[in-house]
Amino acid sequence: MAQVSKKVAAELYQKAYLIRSAERKICDNYPKDVMQSPMHMSMGEEGIVAGVCQALKKKDQVFGTYRSHGLYLAKTGETDDFFAEMYGKVSGIANGKAGSMFLSRPAAGLISVSAVVTTAIPVAVGAAYANKLKRNGKITAVFFGDGALEEGAFWESLNFACLKQVPILFVCEDNGFAIQTPLRARRGYASIIDIVSRFKSNVFQGETTNPEVIYGTALKAIAAVKKTRKPAFLRFKYYRYLEHVGVRDDFAVGYRPRNEFKKWEKIDPVKVMRKNLLRKGMTEKTVVGMEKAIEKKVERSVARAEKAPFPPRSDLYKDIFYEKK
Amino acid sequence: MKRNERFISYKDALREALLQEMERDRRVFVYGLGVPDNNAVFGTTRGLKERFGPERVFDTPLSEDAMTGIGLGAAINGLKPVHHHIRVDFLLLAFNQLANMVSILRYGSGGKVTIPFVIRAIIGRGWGQGLQHSKSMQSVFAHIPGLKVIMPSTPHDAKGLLTAAIRDENPVICLEHRWLYDQEGNVPLKQFTVPLGKSKVLRRGNDVTVVATSWMNIEARHASEILKKRGVSVEIVDPRTIQPLDEATIIRSVKKTSHCIVADNDWLNCGFSAEVAARVSRECFGELKSPVERIGFAPTPCPMTRVLEDEFYPNAGDIVRAIEKALKLKPMDLSKERFYSHENRFKGPF
């Protein structure tokens, strides 16, 4: 793996730590019933979104799923509108209309996510097709879970992207569960990598949670897309720390043992990245300073969100259609 | 023919709308199964690929669901996709994208994205279109907030509405009846638009209002000609746009005639005809001299064999009977009238 500069490493850590600390805050405040939106937490996948978004340029575009707190924070770095949206306030990303499951910030390149599995994938391919026609050099990355591979629209989208040589990264965040249903109850084939390899596509996979390694893989994938003009499919495994939806762990439910988590906890992406930083010679003091600054930013955004007003009732009818002003 | 009149077919009017708008706006692209093939969506996309190249005019894998998402993504990124389906039945494969993404994305982004996206789909009928090539479904699409639905019934409106739909910054579903394709009418060569959300009085009359959609306008016109012989004057209102519906024109007409028949090119149950009936009842309650009557497909799947198909589809005769009932007239002798004659002209295969 190519050496990652201290600056890039610090940015990777800041992304991962921002996601973790924002989600910790959500976990703290969720039981107070102040955020009435179903939360699908990103904890455990920070390495993937941090790594891939670090490799993307600001102008590049991303699409995701209902589990996209991590993607939003990694791509935009923004927390004021994010928390306001969680609280359903008028200052939120979509003025409180969308919530945790439907995040969008086109100006920062996060076009859309979707809470119906796979439905954002073809939209991402269409966005990438437009980028190709406009010859603007933008890369599109679409993030989805392993469950999406069981939907027809994934294969339809992959086929079209390969056929039309669309500049897109398909990023599979594989946690092995669809809600609680494991792969063995869902999968009638041995290897997704083998299958996608038969398409006119570049294929990458990472058995790592290390943001630095994932960043390196994403850079290679982007270079391959530009060179070969074929899309790239990337698969990264991770472990979903919390229940499918909600802020608690769910080891007591019985479908997966706590021991499994303990193994993954040792390679927790945030901890791994922190160690990487120290190994690169960043002092503990600097790292702590970075962490404090991020926590402060999160605290401030939460306080702002709590104080912000709810949308006026008339907002219900706003933005259904585009209307000439 | 008057001076400055030019008669062309509905399908040529659609083609002209696409061609002229693609000339005018480089962002417009046209895609769908069969778009560049020899049939060229029954002639409506003929010559476009040769003129505008394969990036702006292309065939697709079947993949209706993904191809709809792809149009949405391209629209968000500033292009103006026009997607074609040779049957409405096939568009149903894209219902997930329509109801879960296309219709909600502007609202869900807090108004930050715009979606100039046109989806054309053809309503089949006759010569055995049967169970899966005959659906209309305008009510189902119009039910979903965030989608616009148009059903042009004349060549003039086909060109004007499709042009307006492409220029609209919102998703628009354009439902085109296969049998209208060969209808001819006066259509200006120069580009023009027919605004969405405007009903049109297709025929002036005083005794009864018939609100008709798509092909049912042809049947309504036929019915009005039959009734003219006995001195009944029928006003025909074509909503043209199902969503957003211009109810004012309909209400104005019913207030004048005090009778309303809705002839919808679709099933009745929970349908557009019920929507019109409800609005007319609300706005004209005191002025109605007969209950709003509805005419549409039989509540069955569409059968293949002609004898049953004739039972399935309503015709001008059904409209005549409904009007007679509303006006308390004795049923006239219709035995000399020719109904379902278009069936004898349309020879398919589809």
pLDDT of B326 reads: 98
Partners of residue B346 on adjacent β-strands: none
Which segments of chain B does DSSP mark as H helices, in order?
10-24, 48-52, 64-76, 88-91, 95-97, 105-108, 138-142, 155-167, 216-228, 247-257, 272-284, 306-312, 316-326, 342-345
Q: Does A65 touch chain B (CB under 8 A)?
A: no
Which segments of A229-309 does DSSP mark as H helices, in order?
258-265, 269-279, 284-307
Q: Does A124 touch chain B (CB under 8 A)?
A: yes
Q: Which of B28, B97, B109 has the most A C-beta neighbours within 10 Å, making it the best mutation to test the interface with A?
A: B109
Q: Does A209 touch chain B (CB under 8 A)?
A: no
The radius of gyration computed from the CA coordinates of chain A, to the nearest angstrom, equals 19
Q: What is the separation, in whole angstroms, between the first and last Cα of chain B?
A: 32
Residues of A in contact with B68 (CB under 8 A): 122
d(C-alpha B141, C-alpha B255), whole Å: 29
Catalytic residues of B: 133
**Coil/strand/helix, residue B25:** coil
pLDDT of B342 reads: 82
Domain B200-345, CATH class in plain words: alpha beta
d(C-alpha A102, C-alpha B109), whole Å: 8
Domain B7-186, CATH class in plain words: alpha beta
Q: Does A321 touch chain B (CB under 8 A)?
A: yes
Q: Which of B256, B251, B274, B255 has its CA nearest to residue B264?
A: B274
Neighbouring residues of B215: CB distance < 8 A, sequence distance ≥ 6 = B123, B125, B153, B177, B179, B180, B265
Domain parsing of chain B, residue ranges: 7-186, 200-345
Nearest to A97 among B66, B68, B107 (CB): B107
d(C-alpha B208, C-alpha B217), whole Å: 15
Superfamily for domain range A6-239+254-308: Thiamin diphosphate (ThDP)-binding fold, Pyr/PP domains (3.40.50.970)
CA separation, residue A309 to residues A87, A89, A304, A306, A312 (Å): 10, 6, 10, 8, 8
Neighbouring residues of A56: CB distance < 8 A, sequence distance ≥ 6 = A62, A75, A109, A139, A141, A218, A222
* Å between A97 CA and nearest CA of chain B: 6
Nearest to B73 among A102, A126, A321 (CB): A126
Cβ distance A112 to B113 less than 8 Å, yes or no, reads yes
**Coil/strand/helix, residue B6:** coil
Nearest to B110 among A94, A120, A153 (CB): A94
Residuewise pLDDT in 10s, chain A (325 residues): 557 999 999 999 999 999 999 999 999 999 999 999 999 999 999 999 999 999 999 999 999 999 999 999 999 999 999 999 999 999 999 999 999 999 999 999 999 999 999 999 999 999 999 999 999 999 999 999 999 999 999 999 999 999 999 999 999 999 999 999 999 999 999 999 999 999 999 999 988 999 999 999 999 999 999 999 999 999 999 999 999 999 999 999 999 999 999 999 999 999 999 999 999 999 999 999 999 999 999 999 999 999 999 999 999 999 999 998 7
- State the ipTM, two decimals: 0.95
The radius of gyration computed from the CA coordinates of chain B, to the nearest angstrom, equals 20
CB-CB contact of A205 with A193 (8 Å): yes
> Which residues of chain B, if any, have pLDDT below 70?
1
Q: What is the separation, in whole angstroms, between the first and last Cα of chain A?
A: 53
Cβ distance B74 to A159 less than 8 Å, yes or no, reads no
d(C-alpha B330, C-alpha B280), whole Å: 26
CB-CB contact of A64 with A120 (8 Å): yes
CB-CB contact of A231 with A168 (8 Å): yes
pLDDT of A2 reads: 55
CB atoms within 10 A of CB B291: 12
The tokens for B29 are 């692209």
The tokens for B261 are 């028949």
| Burial classification of residue B67, based on how many CB atoms lie within 10 Å of its CB (0-12 exposed, 13-18 middle, 19 or more buried) | buried
* Å between B144 CA and nearest CA of chain A: 11
d(C-alpha B165, C-alpha A175), whole Å: 43
